[in-house]
Structure 1
Amino acid sequence: MSLLNEIQTEKKILPRRILIYGTHGVGKSTFGAMAPNPIFIQTEEGLGDIDCHKFPLAEEYAQVTNAIGALSMEDHSYQSVVLDSADWLERLIWAEVCKDKQVNSIEDIGYAKGYAFALDYWRQVLEGLDVLRKHRGMHVILIAHAQIEKFQNPETEPYDRYSPRLHKHASAVVQEWCDEILFASYKVHTKQSDAGFNQKRTQGIGTGERTIRTVERPAHVAKNRLNLPDEMPLNWNEYAQFLPQPKTKGVIK
C-alpha cells in the first residue's frame, strides 16, 4: 500500500496538556480544581483548603508513577489529572537519581550529568500522562511555582523574566511537551509621583485581580495553540471557552 494513501487530513481533537505556573497563592491549584472532574497527584502539601479528590501525598518518585499507572489501568470517571506541583516532583526525581547513582546530592554527579539523568524520569512521567490523555481522554494540568531568571537574548542585552521553577533542561522538555503554558499573576499597575528635587517615584498598585498570560513576552514565558487572548481571567471556565469541540454530524432527513 502506498504511503500516500495513509495521509490524514482531519484534525484530531485531544484533551489539553497545560502547564500553569505563577507566584505563590495566586490560585493555580484552584484553576486545576475547576477542570472537568479532576484528580490531583500531589507532591507538596497545600490542597487542604480545596475541595477535591487527591492521591495521598507522594514522598517518593514511585508513588507518582504508581498513581499515573492506576489511572491508566483501573476503572474511574475522572476527566482531568492535576500534578501539583512539577517543581516538587523534580525534587523526588533528583532523589531517585541520587539513589540510583548512590550519591548524596545530584551535584555530586560530575559534569552536571545528574540533571541529564533526571530527564529520563521526566520522560517516563510525561509518557504516562500522555497515555491518560490519549487513551483515557483526560486533560493533563501541571502546576509549578515561578522563578525570576536571567534570560540571555542574543538580540538584546540580558534581562529578567518569569519562568517555571524547574532546572533549565527539565523546563525545556516540559515546555515543549505542553500545548499551553500559562503564567498566572496578579494584575499590577504603576503610578508615578513627584518625589521632589526633580525626581519621580514609581509605585506599584495592585487591584487583586488574578490573570493568566498566554503569549510569551519579555517579562514571562508562555505559549498557547488555541489563539487565546494575550491576557485572561484566572478561571478554567474562561479558558474552556476556547477548547476545540468535536464536530457533530448533521441528521439526514
Structure 2
Amino acid sequence: MAFNITSGPTATAQKVVLYGVEGIGKSTFASQFPNAVFIDIEGSTSNMDVMRMPSPRSWQMIMDEVEDVKQRQICQTLIIDSGDWAERKCKEHLAVLGKWTDSTNDYGAKYVSLEKEFGQLVNKLSDVVEVGINVVVTAHAKLKKKEEPDQMGAYDRYQLKMEDKTGAMLKEWADMVLFANYETTIVTDSKTNSKKATGGQRVMFAAHHPGWDAKNRHNLPDKLPLDFGAIAHIFQKQVTPPVQTQPPVEQPQQEQVTAATTVETPQENNFGREPNIIDPAIPKELAQLMSVNEVTEEEIRRLVAEKGFRPYEMPVKDYPDDLIQGGLVAQWDKIFTEIKAKRAY
C-alpha cells in the first residue's frame, strides 16, 4: 500500500499546560484564551465572569464533561482547572475501587493504576484537540530537591504539584508547558551588606531551566510577561491544508448530460419562536446551558411539571437547589434530549 506524504504544519489546536505558584493568576490568564469554557474542579473561577461547566463532583463527571465538549463542540478552548485537582478526583475514584490506599507495601501498584486511569483523561483531551478545540490544563507548582549525578549537592526545582508519573505524562502530552512566577531581583546594600528582594513582576517561562520545567514548539522567548497577548499570535494562525508531494492521478472522465434538478432542502421553521430571554435570577450554571442550547424557561417548566417535580406555574428561579443542580444541570444531556423530542416546529 502506498501512502501519501504531506508537508507543512498540521496542528489546528494547541495543548497547553500552565503551572505556577499560588495566587499568580493562572485561571485569569487561562480565561483569556479564545472562547474558553472551564471545567472548574477546584472552584477558582467563582468570582470570575467566565463560561463554565457544572463543577464536577467525581472523576466520572470530569470524563463525561470532557466528552460532552468534544461531542457538542461548544467552545474554542477547554480549560481544565486544575490538573492536580483532577488527579485528586482520580485518586478518590481509585480509592473506592481499592486501587489507591495509604499502604506502602503494594510495590508501587497504586501508582501504576493512577497512571493508567489518568491516562484515559489525557486521551480524551487529545480527542478534544482532534476536533479543533484548544485544551489548557492549569496546575499548581511545588518545590522539590533535585540532585544531578554529575553535580555536587542538590538544588530546589519547581515542578507540577502532581505525582511523578502523571506529571511527566501531562508534560509530554503538551505542545507548550509554561511556568508562571514572580520575577524578583536581589539587591545588596554596599554599606551594610544586607540583601532585599525587589520587583515582583509576573512573568512566565517557556524554555527549560535547571530551576523549572517548561517548553514550547513555537520559538517563543525564554521569558515573557504573564499576558495572553504574548502568545495570542499562536492561536490566530490559519493552517493551510497539507501539500501532497505527488499530484493525484487524473482519471479519464466521460462526458455526461444530466438534466438539472432542483432539490428543496427542508429548513427548520423558526416562525413564531421569540428570542430566548433568560431570567437573570436563574442560577448561572443552568442559565448557561439554556443559552447555549436555546432552551426556553417554558420548556423547562413544562418538562418539570410533566415529571411531577414542581407545578408548571412555578418559575425556574424558585426551584430548589437540589432540583436545579442534581435534576437539571447534572442530567442536562438527558433533559435536553427530551426537550428536543417535544419541540414541534
Is the contact between residue 144 and residue 159 of structure 2 (CA under 8 Å) also seen in structure 1? yes
Match of 1:151 in 2: 146
Partner of 2:164 in structure 1? 168
The code of the aligned residue for 2:142 comes to Q
The residue that corresponds to 2:230 in the other structure is: 238
Which residue is 1:212 aligned to?
204
Deviating beyond 3 angstroms after TM superposition, the runs of 4 or more aligned structure 1 residues are 106-109
What is the CA distance between 1:194 and its match in structure 2? 4.7
Structure number with greater CO (CA < 8 Å, separation at least 6) is 1
Separation in structure 1 between the aligned mates of residue 108 and residue 210 of structure 2, nearest angstrom: 28
- Please name the residue that 1:118 is paired with: 114
Work out whether residues 99 and 113 of structure 2, in 8 Å CA contact, stay in contact via their aligned partners in 1. no
Between the two proteins, what is the percent identity of the paired residues? 26
Structure 1: gaps spanning 5 or more residues: none
CA separation of 1:247/1:143 partners in 2, compared to 1, >3 Å: closer, same or farther?
closer
1:201 to 177, 191, 194: 194
Structure with larger Rg: 2
2:61 counterpart residue number = 63
Q: Is the 8 A contact 1:37 1:79 kept in 2?
A: yes
C-alpha distance in structure 1 between counterparts of 2:102 and 2:173, whole Å: 24
Structure 2 Cα separation of the partners of residues 85 and 231 of structure 1: 23
Kindly provide the CA deviation profile for residues 155-182 of structure 1, in whole angstroms up to 9, marking residues without a partner as x.
3232111111011111111110011110
Question: What pairs with 1:176-191 in structure 2 (closer than 5 Å)?
Answer: 176-191=172-187
Query: Could you list the per-position Cα deviations for residues 18-60 of structure 1 after superposition, in whole angstroms to 9, with x for gaps in the alignment?
Result: 1100111111101110000001011101212211011122221
Counterpart for residue 52 of structure 2:
54
Indicate the SS of the match to 1:232: strand
Match in the other structure for 2:97? 100
Matched, 1:138 2:130: no
In 1, distance between residues paired with 2:18 and 2:210? Answer: 18
Letter in 2 for 1:114: K
Correspondent of 1:228 among 205, 220, 240: 220
Residues of 2 paired with 1:83 and 1:167: CA distance? Answer: 17
Task: Give CA-to-partner distance per residue, 1:211-253, whole Å, 9 cap, x none.
Answer: 110111111111111110111111122112245723569xxxx
User: Distance in 2 between the 1:42 and 1:99 partners?
Assistant: 23
Tell me the TM-score normalized by structure 2. 0.65
Task: Give the AA of the match of 2:182.
Answer: Y
Deviation, structure 1 residue 122: 1.3
Q: Give the conservation status (yes or no) of the 8 Å contact 2:79–2:135.
A: yes
In structure 1, what is the Cα distance between the partners aligned to 2:155 and 2:165?
20
Write out per-residue CA displacement over residues 94-140 of structure 1, whole angstroms, 9 at most, x where no aligned residue. Answer: 1111111266x3546611221110111211111111111112x1111
Question: In structure 1, how many angstroms separate the alpha carbons of the residues matched to 2:194 and 2:95?
Answer: 49
Q: Is the 8 A contact 2:12 2:239 kept in 1?
A: no
* Residue of structure 1 equivalent to 2:9: 11
Aligned length: 240
Q: Secondary structure at the match of 1:110?
A: coil
Q: Secondary structure at the match of 1:146?
A: strand
Q: Deviations over 1:164-207 (max 9, x none)?
A: 101111111111001111000112111012575xxx33211134
Instruction: Measure the CA separation in 2 of the matches of 1:242 and 1:18.
Output: 11
**Deviation (angstroms), 1:147:** 0.2
Do the aligned residues in 1 keep the contact of 2:20 with 2:140 (CA within 8 Å)? yes
Q: Distance in 1 between matches of 2:73 and 2:165?
A: 35
Give the Cα separation in 2 of the matches to 1:108 and 1:58: 29
Q: Secondary structure at the match of 2:88?
A: helix
8 Å CA contact 2:10, 2:239 repeated in 1: no
Whether the 8 Å CA contact 1:43–1:57 is kept in 2: the answer is yes
What's the TM-score, normalizing by structure 1? 0.88
Contact 2:9 2:239 in 1 (8 A): no
Which is richer in strand? 1
- 8 A contact 2:204–2:226 mirrored in 1: yes
> What is the CA distance between 1:75 and its match in structure 2?
5.1
- Give the secondary structure class of the aligned counterpart of 1:45: coil
* Superposition deviation, residue 89 in structure 1: 0.8
CA distance in structure 2 between the aligned counterparts of 1:120 and 1:248, rounded to whole angstroms: 36
- Distance verdict in 2 for CA 1:36–1:92, change over 3 Å: same
Q: Decide whether aligned partners of structure 1 residues 102 and 230 sit closer, same or farther in structure 2, where only a CA change above 3 A counts.
A: closer
Closer, same or farther: CA 147–73 of 1 in aligned 2, 3 Å: same
